[in-house]
Chains A and B, each alone.
Chain A
């Protein structure tokens, strides 16, 4: 099956620093999603990308859909303490006309922000 490698596995940063994380796949996707999970909660969608090369921002977050369709990255600028959590990438391959396009999740990046 498809494999997603998400890196880094964890990050410890100072408040105000920028953060970058990425996901790479062994095969192509036509949708990339980035989720954040707070402790004790379910994942919440941050950014959705639907087109190769697409660059999308959501406040201090910016994500890009790689040209090869096999990778995506997420940047967080000027981090703040509430950015703490686990960030997941997820890729979807929709073949068109099928009943379901399964989401494949990365292993997650644990972000810790020191005030």
Chain B
């Protein structure tokens, strides 16, 4: 049981390049999330998927798109990377969305540098 896995672990992009961050969970969770972590700002929600087939914007969605490929996988795409998107990206999953005892489990993160 690997929990939440993310690929790649590290990536360097040039401004304007595109890339997709991959996330998968093997806990049969319904909900999945993408966060970014910047120094001194905690974690901020980019997009989430409450269940397979649905996606919604979070706090900082601009410049990103997501795809809930199936129940296990939730990808984050940067169509045209900008230096402001340099960050550490975390994927998370939870059994249900909005439930009183929602608990999110995090992946190890992807460290992205945009030059």
Measured CB to CB, the residues of A under 8 A from B are 1, 4, 6, 9, 30-31, 33, 35, 40-45, 48, 50, 88, 92, 94, 97-103, 105-108
> B109 is contacted by which of A42, A102, A108 (Cβ under 8 Å)?
A42
A1-B59, A105-B42, A108-B42 known; A45 vs B109 contact (CB < 8 Å): no
Interface 0/1 of B33-74, CB less than 8 Å to A: 000000011111100101000101011000000000000000
Measured CB to CB, the residues of B under 8 A from A are 4, 31, 40-45, 48, 50, 54, 56, 58-59, 90, 92, 97-109
Q: Please tell me if the beta carbons of A102 and B42 are within 8 angstroms of each other in the complex.
A: no
Q: Please tell me if the beta carbons of A45 and B103 are within 8 angstroms of each other in the complex.
A: yes
Q: Please tell me if the beta carbons of A101 and B98 are within 8 angstroms of each other in the complex.
A: yes
Chain B residue numbers with a CB within 8 Å of A6 are: 42
Q: Please tell me if the beta carbons of B4 and A50 are within 8 angstroms of each other in the complex.
A: no
**Looking across the interface, which residue of chain B has its beta carbon closest to that of A41?**
B108
Q: What secondary structure prevails in chain A residues at the interface with B?
A: loop
A42-B90, A42-B106, A107-B41 known; A102 vs B101 contact (CB < 8 Å): no
**Looking across the interface, which residue of chain B has its beta carbon closest to that of A101?**
B98
Q: Please tell me if the beta carbons of A44 and B106 are within 8 angstroms of each other in the complex.
A: yes
Tally of A-B Cβ pairs under 8 angstroms: 71
Give CA–CA (A59, B4) in the complex, Å: 25
A42-B106, A42-B109, A102-B58 known; A88 vs B43 contact (CB < 8 Å): yes
Give CA–CA (A101, B96) in the complex, Å: 10
Min CB gap A34→B, angstroms: 11
**Looking across the interface, which residue of chain A has its beta carbon closest to that of B31?**
A100
Q: Please tell me if the beta carbons of B102 and A101 are within 8 angstroms of each other in the complex.
A: yes
Chain B residue numbers with a CB within 8 Å of A106 are: 42
21 CB < 8 A contacts A-B: A6-B42, A9-B40, A33-B103, A33-B104, A40-B108, A42-B4, A42-B90, A42-B92, A43-B43, A44-B106, A45-B104, A48-B101, A88-B42, A94-B99, A98-B98, A100-B56, A100-B97, A101-B97, A101-B99, A105-B43, A107-B42
